[in-house]
């Protein structure tokens, strides 16, 4: 089947092409008849490929040569191994169910065919990103999904906040992508190739400094795409897009491509311990700070958005401590439960006529029991409560963090896990339980979503509940998932030694204790949420008033947006203003000055030079001729004898001169 792996991205491409060409004109509200089967076929193909990989087949499928010059040789080729297979399954499964869900969610939208066109295009690019066998092809997918993300965030482009959010996402990603490109240039400059295989084989030729710089540049790209500090600001705003888009692109797949890229480049990162440390610290800080922001938001989707940022931080933490498999595992479980949470939130939004403020919800379980149930399953998974998916992956990451001696990061990560549990259940209690605070005009058409939306929810809920079992430990002490990915994760002897070295000096704490701690922290978070938002032991409003300073800072997201505006955006605008003024006054001044000068010269020519100098010369010449002629014409008497006299006089004159000259 691996030979036919190119079919997987082909189906969405075909769907995208058909819908893109004929959607708006002819297909219209039947667009899902193209898009969803295309995804279904892609999903089935991906499953076949996955089964093949399970049997141990991996390999490369070269499609065609793309760039061929003496110096550069780039092929369009797909690289299929265990990591690719996992990503392939995550992307196609989630995409398929979210496509199905979209049929119901976007049903009445006038942009229906456009929506499915973009969505198919996104899946195509995401598959290119995952399958590409070189950094360049990965980058093609990377930029492609960025474009689709931009298009879909700004899907309702009539809304100012939507297109602004789209621009923000796109521009923020450009910053990261610039670094990514620099990283690629460095690799290409020193290795002469961007193929994964070749780069990883030759990686040992690089000096440690070069690897560190290159990996940091690549990681900068990942912070843009995967919304990490300092470039995470675009992801919460990206919630302006349709909710299935938030689920698919901004939770399950696209934003995890940075994690995929880091895991894919594990050979390089293993050679650069400093970069790994940076990845771990950035990931952990993001996990913590995004979590704290999540506790103060009232917009349901924004809570989930900050939660996504936070969970992505966990994935990077996992990669940063060298547990790439754990990071990818969390990527997979997160794709399921966060996709589920977003889709459930979308279901709520659908019922609530696009109201998202949790202060206007409450006791929704009465009206939409399926959505409530699936949301709670997703919430439990997110909070890391066993046996739901999030528990396994998050715990594995924290376990590895502790094991490698990053005690502070472990502490922060565990704390963030508690915060995660708190804000998740705060959202659940505020939305589905407690007093009804729903406005009357919304209440009377409150309804459970149609089957086409609830069935994907149920499927994903089952996934969220069970997918974690891949993380069960096998007899060798490694989880099944890590064992499966082991062939992709190349161990460099040096770092392995370092890790073991650290492990030797590590405080030996049994895994069970760590697990117990993290579960306890999670449960504590839920308990606090229960006490505050259900039992109201502490009135949340009063709590907000008491700690208004902290709340204000959290609610305004640490003023990071304001900071960026003050530091970069407004300065850029200032620069643009200065440039504009420069253009207006200096450049235009030169141009206008030239024209004024020309006009002035023309005026001078017209009124000074022309009448007096040129005409003067012409008229003067004629005047002189006239004057001369007036005098000389007196000679022309017309009398022949006069002429003869002149001739005689002339002759006499000449003769006289001759004689005078000759004899005197």
User: Is the Cβ of residue 645 or residue 659 nearer to other proteins in the bound state?
Assistant: 645
Residue range at the interface with other proteins (CB under 8 A); choices 412-420, 479-487, 545-553, 635-643: 635-643
Residue range at the interface with other proteins (CB under 8 A); choices 63-71, 152-160, 466-474, 642-650: 642-650
Residue range at the interface with other proteins (CB under 8 A); choices 96-104, 367-375, 470-478, 643-651: 643-651
User: Is the Cβ of residue 503 or residue 645 nearer to other proteins in the bound state?
Assistant: 645
Cβ–Cβ < 8 Å for 288, 521: no
Residue range at the interface with other proteins (CB under 8 A); choices 327-335, 447-455, 574-582, 630-638: 630-638
Query: Contacting other proteins (CB under 8 A), which of 63, 648, 654, 659?
Result: 648
What's the helix, strand, coil split of the chain in %, to 5?
A: 80, 5, 15
End-to-end CA separation in angstroms for the chain: 128
- Is residue 633 a contact point for other proteins (CB under 8 A)? yes
Residue range at the interface with other proteins (CB under 8 A); choices 149-157, 195-203, 542-550, 629-637: 629-637
Query: Contacting other proteins (CB under 8 A), which of 207, 622, 636, 656?
Result: 636
Six-digit token pair at 488?
Answer: 């992709």
User: Is the Cβ of residue 503 or residue 648 nearer to other proteins in the bound state?
Assistant: 648
Q: Report d(CA 85, CA 335) in Å as an integer.
A: 15
Q: HSE of 593 in the Cβ direction (CA atoms, 13 Å)?
A: 7
Which are the contacts of 330, defined by CB distance < 8 A and separation ≥ 6?
311, 314, 315, 318, 390, 393, 394, 396, 397
- Tell me the closest approach of the beta carbon of residue 661 to other proteins, in angstroms: 21
Cβ–Cβ < 8 Å for 388, 381: yes
Place of tokens 């005197």: 664
Query: Contacting other proteins (CB under 8 A), which of 634, 660, 662, 663?
Result: 634
Q: Report d(CA 398, CA 522) in Å as an integer.
A: 13
- Tell me the closest approach of the beta carbon of residue 635 to other proteins, in angstroms: 9
User: Is the Cβ of residue 604 or residue 648 nearer to other proteins in the bound state?
Assistant: 648
User: Is the Cβ of residue 591 or residue 649 nearer to other proteins in the bound state?
Assistant: 649
User: Is the Cβ of residue 569 or residue 648 nearer to other proteins in the bound state?
Assistant: 648
One character per residue 478-507, x = contact with other proteins (rule: CB under 8 A): ------------------------------
Looking at residue 357, the DSSP 8-state letter turns out to be: B
- Tell me the closest approach of the beta carbon of residue 612 to other proteins, in angstroms: 32
Query: Contacting other proteins (CB under 8 A), which of 570, 637, 653, 655?
Result: 637
User: Is the Cβ of residue 592 or residue 636 nearer to other proteins in the bound state?
Assistant: 636
Residue range at the interface with other proteins (CB under 8 A); choices 227-235, 315-323, 329-337, 632-640: 632-640
User: Is the Cβ of residue 209 or residue 626 nearer to other proteins in the bound state?
Assistant: 626
3-class DSSP assignment, residue 299: strand
- Tell me the closest approach of the beta carbon of residue 660 to other proteins, in angstroms: 19
Element (H, E) at 290: helix 273-294
Residue 513's CB is within 10 A of a number of other CB atoms, namely 10
Cβ–Cβ < 8 Å for 95, 253: yes
Residue range at the interface with other proteins (CB under 8 A); choices 1-9, 53-61, 214-222, 640-648: 640-648
CA dihedral 91, 268, 469, 303 (to 10 degrees): -60
Q: Report d(CA 382, CA 498) in Å as an integer.
A: 32
Residue range at the interface with other proteins (CB under 8 A); choices 11-19, 164-172, 354-362, 638-646: 638-646
- Tell me the closest approach of the beta carbon of residue 630 to other proteins, in angstroms: 9
- Is residue 631 a contact point for other proteins (CB under 8 A)? no
Q: Report d(CA 242, CA 155) in Å as an integer.
A: 7
Which are the contacts of 654, defined by CB distance < 8 A and separation ≥ 6?
none
Query: Contacting other proteins (CB under 8 A), which of 493, 638, 661, 662?
Result: 638
User: Is the Cβ of residue 68 or residue 632 nearer to other proteins in the bound state?
Assistant: 632
Cβ–Cβ < 8 Å for 411, 494: no
Judge if the upstream peptide bond of residue 387 is cis by omega within 30 degrees of 0: yes
Residue 446 buriedness (CB in 10 A; 0-12 / 13-18 / 19+) = middle
- Is residue 639 a contact point for other proteins (CB under 8 A)? yes
Q: HSE of 83 in the Cβ direction (CA atoms, 13 Å)?
A: 28
Closest CA to 551 of 286, 289, 296, 287: 296
Q: Report d(CA 209, CA 191) in Å as an integer.
A: 14
Residue 484's CB is within 10 A of a number of other CB atoms, namely 20
- Is residue 641 a contact point for other proteins (CB under 8 A)? yes
CA dihedral 35, 37, 43, 46 (to 10 degrees): -100
The pair phi, psi for residue 444, each rounded to 5°, is -75, -15
- Is residue 595 a contact point for other proteins (CB under 8 A)? no
- Is residue 645 a contact point for other proteins (CB under 8 A)? yes
- Is residue 567 a contact point for other proteins (CB under 8 A)? no
Closest CA to 216 of 228, 232, 233, 198: 228
User: Is the Cβ of residue 621 or residue 648 nearer to other proteins in the bound state?
Assistant: 648
Residue range at the interface with other proteins (CB under 8 A); choices 167-175, 207-215, 291-299, 633-641: 633-641
User: Is the Cβ of residue 543 or residue 644 nearer to other proteins in the bound state?
Assistant: 644
Q: For other proteins, how many residues bind (rule: CB under 8 A)? A: 11
Residue 175 buriedness (CB in 10 A; 0-12 / 13-18 / 19+) = middle
Query: Contacting other proteins (CB under 8 A), which of 597, 617, 644, 657?
Result: 644
User: Is the Cβ of residue 639 or residue 661 nearer to other proteins in the bound state?
Assistant: 639
Q: HSE of 37 in the Cβ direction (CA atoms, 13 Å)?
A: 7
- Is residue 661 a contact point for other proteins (CB under 8 A)? no
User: Is the Cβ of residue 537 or residue 643 nearer to other proteins in the bound state?
Assistant: 643
- Tell me the closest approach of the beta carbon of residue 644 to other proteins, in angstroms: 6
Query: Contacting other proteins (CB under 8 A), which of 640, 661, 662, 664?
Result: 640
- Tell me the closest approach of the beta carbon of residue 641 to other proteins, in angstroms: 6
User: Is the Cβ of residue 493 or residue 634 nearer to other proteins in the bound state?
Assistant: 634
CA distances from 179 to 183, 259, 301, 487, 613 (A): 6, 16, 30, 29, 67
- Tell me the closest approach of the beta carbon of residue 655 to other proteins, in angstroms: 12
Q: Which residues bind other proteins (CB under 8 A)?
A: 633-634, 636-641, 644-645, 648
């Amino acid at each position: 089947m691996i030979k036919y792996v190119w079919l997987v991205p082909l189906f969405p491409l075909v769907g995208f092409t058909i819908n893109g060409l004929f959607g708006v004109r002819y297909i219209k509200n039947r667009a899902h008849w193209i898009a969803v089967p295309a995804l279904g076929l892609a999903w089935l193909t991906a499953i076949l490929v996955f089964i093949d990989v399970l049997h141990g087949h991996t390999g490369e499928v070269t499609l065609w040569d793309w760039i061929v010059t003496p110096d550069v040789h780039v092929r369009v080729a797909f690289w299929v191994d265990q990591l690719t297979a996992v990503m392939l399954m995550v992307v196609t499964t989630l995409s398929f169910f979210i496509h199905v869900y979209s049929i119901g969610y976007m049903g009445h939208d006038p942009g229906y065919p456009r929506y499915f066109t973009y969505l198919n295009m996104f899946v195509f690019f995401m598959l290119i990103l995952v399958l590409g066998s070189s950094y360049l092809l990965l980058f093609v997918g990377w930029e492609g999904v960025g474009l689709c993300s931009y298009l879909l965030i700004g899907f309702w482009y009539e809304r100012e906040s939507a297109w602004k959010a789209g621009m923000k996402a796109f521009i923020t990603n450009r910053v990261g992508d610039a670094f990514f490109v620099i990283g690629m240039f460095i690799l290409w400059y020193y290795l002469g190739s961007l193929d994964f295989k070749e780069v990883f084989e030759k990686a040992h030729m690089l000096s440690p400094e070069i690897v560190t710089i290159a990996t940091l540049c690549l990681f900068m790209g990942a912070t843009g795409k995967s919304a990490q500090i300092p470039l995470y600001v675009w992801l919460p705003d990206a919630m302006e897009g349709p909710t299935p888009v938030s689920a698919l692109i901004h939770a399950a797949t696209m934003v995890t491509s940075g994690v995929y890229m880091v895991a894919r480049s594990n050979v390089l990162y293993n050679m650069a311990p400093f970069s790994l440390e940076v990845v771990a610290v950035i990931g952990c800080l993001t996990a913590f700070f995004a979590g704290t922001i999540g506790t103060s938001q009232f917009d349901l989707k924004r809570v989930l958005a900050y939660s996504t940022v936070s969970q992505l931080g966990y994935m990077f933490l996992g990669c940063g401590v060298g547990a790439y498999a754990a990071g990818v595992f969390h990527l997979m479980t997160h794709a399921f439960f966060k996709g589920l949470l977003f889709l459930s939130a979308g279901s709520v939004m659908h019922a609530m006529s696009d109201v998202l403020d949790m202060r206007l919800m409450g006791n929704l379980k009465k009206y939409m029991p399926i959505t409530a149930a699936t949301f709670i399953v997703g919430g439990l998974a997110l909070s890391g409560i066993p046996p739901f998916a999030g528990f396994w992956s998050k715990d594995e990451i924290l376990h590895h963090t502790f094991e490698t001696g990053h005690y502070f990061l472990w502490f922060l990560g565990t704390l963030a896990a508690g915060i995660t549990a708190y804000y998740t259940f705060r959202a659940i209690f505020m939305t589905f339980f407690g007093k009804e605070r729903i406005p009357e005009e919304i209440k009377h058409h409150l309804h459970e979503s149609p089957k086409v939306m609830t069935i994907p929810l149920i499927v994903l809920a089952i996934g969220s509940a069970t997918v974690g079992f891949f993380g069960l430990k096998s007899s060798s002490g490694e989880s099944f998932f890590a064992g499966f990915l082991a062939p992709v994760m190349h161990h460099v002897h040096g770092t392995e030694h370092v890790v073991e070295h650290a492990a030797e000096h590590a405080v030996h704490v049994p895994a069970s204790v760590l697990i117990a701690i993290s579960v306890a922290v999670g449960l504590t978070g839920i308990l606090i949420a229960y006490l505050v938002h259900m039992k109201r032991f502490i009135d949340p409003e009063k709590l907000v008033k008491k700690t208004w300073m902290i709340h204000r800072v959290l609610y305004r997201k640490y003023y990071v947006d304001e900071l960026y505006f003050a530091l970069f955006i407004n300065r850029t605008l200032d620069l643009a203003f200065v440039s504009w003024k420069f253009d207006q006054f200096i450049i235009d001044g030169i141009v206008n000055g030239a024209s004024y000068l020309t006009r002035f010269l023309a005026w001078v020519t017209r009124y000074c030079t022309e009448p007096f100098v040129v005409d003067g010369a012409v008229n003067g010449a004629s005047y002189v001729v006239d004057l001369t002629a007036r005098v000389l014409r007196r000679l022309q008497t017309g009398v022949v004898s006069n002429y003869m006299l002149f001739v005689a006089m002339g002759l006499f004159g000449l003769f006289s001169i001759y004689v005078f000259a000759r004899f005197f």
